[in-house]
Amino acid sequence: MQLAAVILTYNEAHNITDCVASLRSWVDAVIVWDSGSSDGTPARAMAAGALVVQRPFDNYAAQRQAALDAVDAEWIFFVDADERATPELAVEIRQKIDHAGHASSPVGYWVPRRNFIVGCEMRGGGFSPDYQLRLLRRGAARYVADRQVHEIVELSGADAYLNNPLIHYNYLSWTQFHHKQRFYAAYEARILAGRSIHPKPHNFILQPLREFRRRLITLAGWRDGWRGVWMALLLAWYYGFMPYVILLRQPPQEE
């Protein structure tokens, strides 16, 4: 195969049919890489025309690397179940890989995303264009094993940027948003603990203020009006404040 789309899933029955439909007509195969869904995701994926592979979940980087190792295609396009490929993106990707014959051709492409949070598109605060390294030449890419969330890809060659976006329906409800942010806050706390960082009083003030300023000013969250301010406040709480609270609650590690 020249191009296979890989969708990582766990209980994505509400998303998988539309996701597969946005890919099936222009890739050589759609492969759903499932982590043991119990909501009928595999059956719906097969009904939509996808192949299904079951692999127990350990972490995101390992799941993606396992797909890279197993799927016999020259190019792999990773898509999340809550994302949709546009026709314009399909044409652009096909053009890029059809002309990737010379030695200096990129081996990885960053894809912009348009992010919708609880039905509203976010245009600032780091949510637009939100580039993700998703189109990979299989033999020239590898995921960093110790970066288990917000994965990092190492390329043995050049990268480049695509113009047309994926549509990303991040969170359908605020309950879903808060649940995921608590997960990310706990992960950030583990990173801090791994770096032997101990929370100090100023961390609980300065880190949230830095994150709020970064989201609202540096990343132009102000473009989204009151929603941008609200999102900057929430992410300052979850990324600037909560990791240090979690770190403070953790018992000291024995030497």
Q: How confident is the model at residue 148, as a pLDDT?
A: 61
Q: Where are the domains of the chain?
A: 3-170, 173-249
Q: How confident is the model at residue 254, as a pLDDT?
A: 40
Q: How confident is the model at residue 210, as a pLDDT?
A: 96
Structure tokens at 188: 């950030």
Q: How confident is the model at residue 29, as a pLDDT?
A: 97
Q: How confident is the model at residue 251, as a pLDDT?
A: 53
Q: How confident is the model at residue 149, as a pLDDT?
A: 67
Long-range contact set of residues 154-160: C-beta below 8 Å, sequence gap at least 24? 155/107, 155/108, 156/107, 157/105, 157/106, 157/107, 157/108, 158/104, 158/105, 158/106, 158/107, 158/108, 159/106, 159/107, 159/108, 159/109, 159/110, 159/133, 160/96, 160/106, 160/108, 160/109, 160/110
Query: What CATH homologous superfamily does 3-170 map to?
Result: Spore Coat Polysaccharide Biosynthesis Protein SpsA; Chain A (3.90.550.10)
pLDDT in tens, the chain (255 residues): 999 999 999 999 999 999 999 999 999 999 999 999 999 999 999 999 999 999 999 888 999 999 999 999 999 999 999 999 999 999 999 999 988 777 678 999 999 999 999 999 999 999 988 999 999 999 999 998 877 667 889 999 999 999 999 999 988 899 999 999 998 999 888 888 888 888 888 989 999 999 999 999 999 999 999 999 999 999 999 999 999 999 888 754 443
DSSP state letter for 221: G
